[in-house]
Structure 1
Amino acid sequence: MPHLYIPLFLITLLYFLYRHFTEKLNYWKTKNVAGPQPIPFFGNLKDSALRRVPVGLLYKKFYEEFPEEKVVGIYLMKTPAILIRDLEIAKNVLIKDFDVFADRGIKFGEKDMGANLFHADGDTWRVLRARFTPLFTSGKLKNMLHLINERAEKFLEHVELITKDNNEHEVHSLVQKYTQATIAACAFGLDMDTYGQLSDTLKRIDKKIFTVNSSSMLDMLYPGILKKMGGSKFPKEVKEFFFDLTKRIINQRQGKPTERNDFMDLILALRQKEIQCRTKTDENLKLDMNDSVISAQSFVFYAAGYETSASTMGFLLYQLALNSNIQDKVIEELDAVLKKYKGELSLEAISELNYMGKVFDETLRMYPIIDKLKRCAQTDYLVPGTEVMIKKGQIVIVPVHGIHFDEKYYPNPEVFDPERFSAENVAVRHSCAYMPFGLGPRHCIGNFYSILYYTA
């Protein structure tokens, strides 16, 4: 007879699971906030969760489906969230009311590389930002330019060699070699030509970094669970690799900066200074720059500079190949600037590549690497101009990809047109209509570095 209870148990279990995963799916309907229809468990992210559509394109789709709405109610799995369509509201969230939305809401253990500049929240982020902002001044990056130029020269030699026998090559994997060598040199002072198996090891680590894992879905289902459980968004091999690599380099340099002027040198010099940061409660906060914290910053510097740069360079070269007239203008400008500076691609020379800058900006408009911005409300917040209340702890999404393809701001958005970024066009466009590096105090701290990277 006991086996007769099995169907009853399964039916009861399914009922409670259904209730659990659907109990919040009427949240926005009861608030009279428009949004796409959610489904149990997945909310509005089924296609993303099943790896059918990148999540940034899903947010773009929601953005386009509700053209008359200032905000759209969506569900990250079973968790209610807000997607912003109105640029003035986006400006409030990212800039004017930043203190309410200072956190990204991506919480996991600080000992598991959570204490990095991208993922950290609260006071930890504030002190990290205070410490690392001085590392990304134009003066500091100017000293690093020689590392970029050296790798660029080697890359050009490699391209010249391989194109002697075959004129056609897959661009993305080709430029990955350049970005990997450059970021390894700038972040860790490593020469990929002399480190044997390191290149293959980094390729394996790269795949693990950029492969979406189940931890992101788990955090959407149960916000904050990763931090409570001491979990991480990254596999154990990734954490151990960057910690061991960072520790080895620090030991090689005896804990002191050398004359390479790379990212590790700058961090080691910074560690010798005591920098404090004011918290929201007006208290001084210090952060111990131990090996673990340094490895977390090295990791995010590498992760943010390698694949993102390779993808952007690939798209830029793709568009230049499709638009020979634009390519000709880029070459003409580059030849003129190099002639003026006697063939040296200095920081001053790069600053005069105005048309190249427009091409770069248009590439990131069409192919934004950061295709959405995510913020977490620290207090209840009434959305200006609406009756919508964002509750404390709720996630706010700014759909960068959707905004970049909105015809209100960019007529014929599918057309590659660098002149969208002429001074005249930029002046009449909303300041939040272009945000490939984010906006406000949490904008990408390495945006100027990336410009050097692509141009060199």
Structure 2
Amino acid sequence: MRSKLTPAFTVGKLKGMFSIINNIGLEMNQYIRKNLGQQEFKEICAKFSTDVIAKCAFGINSHCFEYEDANFREVGRSIFDFSWRNGIVHSSYFFMHGLAKLLRLNFFEKRAVTYLSDAFCNLFYMSSSFHNKMIVCYFLFLEGEKVVAQAIQFFAAGFETTSTTIAFTLYELCVQPQLQDKLRCEIINNIKENNGITYEALQNMKILEMCIMETLRKYPAVPFLDRRCNEDYKIDGTDIVIEKGMSVFIPTLALHYDPQYFPEPDKYKPERFSDKNNYNVDGLYYLPFGEGPRICIGERFGMLVTKLGLVHILSEFEVERIPDTPVPMEFEPKSLLLQSKVGLPMRVKEYQPISE
């Protein structure tokens, strides 16, 4: 299945999605301009990433910036917002899989799966010509569940992780206004030099990339990786054997805060990544997207969406710390993904360039 999906994330495909994501960025800025002042930025970023995934994966305008109760946004909340149902089911899937299988627990709520399945199947059917409808229906009959499952996985894995990365980056920039000004200067100069935001120019924003990489270090959206051992493996220098079929959990958050690899780990220092080749040279300890043959298939897509979201916001607005902004950060202990315990409230105002 991975080999079939990989072509969907080539550079050519990403360039084809660029204008779609860029237009949604423009809609986001219109929304922010109408709602200046104190805002919960995690929610704004979630609206943006949900609109992007809905359009790119399902071909649907989810209208998250138009309607507070947009269906796709409600589905997203039901998947990752904490509830006792989600807490019990998600814990069972990761740590008591036999129980989850025995009780036939659905990882996502049934209404969310039904909505996303219907949306994807309707897209599949409506996008086909009359002569191809029977072929599409036959295809869905043969591999329908697998195809729909990948679309749902793309939605679930993409919108929350991306929105979290954008929001945490803005949080750190509101705490460090000088760094925010430095990054904004790079963004605005890049836009002027290229007469707009372009795919190629986006790759040349070094400060932007360094900030995102540091955000992914300090706030990895998924604080642990889970894998299953394919064959018995004896750890070198020990008598410990990881048996075939055993689940292995890798503590990404702990690795990213290890002072041996990241001095002063509690500090947000994008300059750590001025040279990306300095990391993972003597082992694997920086793992925001995983690593190896199971590395996140949507890494480049996620980076593209994150960069575009930040470029749109920071080119036109400033984010400021307010009394409700959580400093220091406290994580929500009941959440599957890394989230702030009290959200990410900040003040946003229009950027006013200093006249020369």
TM-score, normalised with respect to structure 1: 0.60
Partner of 2:71: 201
From 1, 10, 13, the equivalent of 1:140 is 13
CA deviations 1:231-283 (Å, max 9, x no partner) are 43222212211111111111211279xxxxxxxxxxx9xx8xx9xxxxxxxxx
- AA aligned to 2:25 is A
From 223, 230, 236, the equivalent of 1:378 is 230
Please report how far the alpha carbon of residue 192 of structure 1 lies from its aligned counterpart in structure 2 after TM superposition.
Answer: 2.9
Tell whether 2:257 aligns with 1:405: yes
Distance 1:336 1:219, change over 3 A: closer
Structure 2 CA distance, aligned partners of 1:222 and 1:176? 30
CA deviations 1:1-21 (Å, max 9, x no partner) are xxxxxxxxxxxxxxxxxxxxx
1:409–1:429 contact (8 Å) kept in structure 2: no
- AA aligned to 2:254 is G
Alignment of 1:67-78 (within 5 A): none
From 171, 175, 190, the equivalent of 1:322 is 175
CA deviations 1:325-348 (Å, max 9, x no partner) are 2112211111221122111x2221
Partner of 1:422: 274
Structure 2 CA distance, aligned partners of 1:437 and 1:220? 18
User: Secondary structure at the residue paired with 1:396?
Assistant: strand
Distance 1:248 1:137, change over 3 A: same
User: Secondary structure at the residue paired with 1:445?
Assistant: coil
1:377–1:390 contact (8 Å) kept in structure 2: yes
Distance 1:154 1:411, change over 3 A: same
Structure 1 CA distance, aligned partners of 2:64 and 2:87? 33
Tell whether 2:32 aligns with 1:180: no
- AA aligned to 1:152 is G
Distance 1:356 1:129, change over 3 A: same
Structure 2 CA distance, aligned partners of 1:194 and 1:232? 26
CA deviations 1:79-126 (Å, max 9, x no partner) are xxxxxxxxxxxxxxxxxxxxxxxxxxxxxxxxxxxxxxxxxxxxxxxx
From 245, 248, 270, the equivalent of 2:119 is 245
Structure 2 CA distance, aligned partners of 1:217 and 1:428? 30
Please report how far the alpha carbon of residue 218 of structure 1 lies from its aligned counterpart in structure 2 after TM superposition.
Answer: 3.7
User: Secondary structure at the residue paired with 2:115?
Assistant: helix
Tell whether 2:144 aligns with 1:291: yes
Instruction: Give RMSD over aligned pairs.
Output: 2.8
CA deviations 1:396-419 (Å, max 9, x no partner) are 111100000000001110110001
Structure 2 CA distance, aligned partners of 1:180 and 1:250? 20
Partner of 2:217: 365
1:312–1:367 contact (8 Å) kept in structure 2: yes
1:144–1:186 contact (8 Å) kept in structure 2: yes
Distance 1:160 1:221, change over 3 A: closer
Greater mean deviation of Cα atoms: 219-228 or 183-192: 219-228
In structure 2, the gaps of 5 or more residues are 309-356
Structure 2 CA distance, aligned partners of 1:391 and 1:205? 38
Alignment of 1:32-43 (within 5 A): none
- AA aligned to 2:238 is T
Distance 1:186 1:219, change over 3 A: closer
Structure 2 CA distance, aligned partners of 1:306 and 1:329? 28
1:364–1:436 contact (8 Å) kept in structure 2: yes
Structure 2 CA distance, aligned partners of 1:204 and 1:218? 24
Partner of 1:263: none
Number of residues of Structure 1 aligned to a counterpart in Structure 2: 299
Structure 2 CA distance, aligned partners of 1:305 and 1:226? 24
1:377–1:396 contact (8 Å) kept in structure 2: yes
Percent identical among aligned pairs is 30
Structure 2 CA distance, aligned partners of 1:410 and 1:174? 31
Structure 2 CA distance, aligned partners of 1:288 and 1:421? 48
- AA aligned to 2:158 is G
Structure 2 CA distance, aligned partners of 1:131 and 1:292? 15
Greater mean deviation of Cα atoms: 403-412 or 292-301: 292-301
In structure 1, the gaps of 5 or more residues are 1-127, 257-267, 275-286
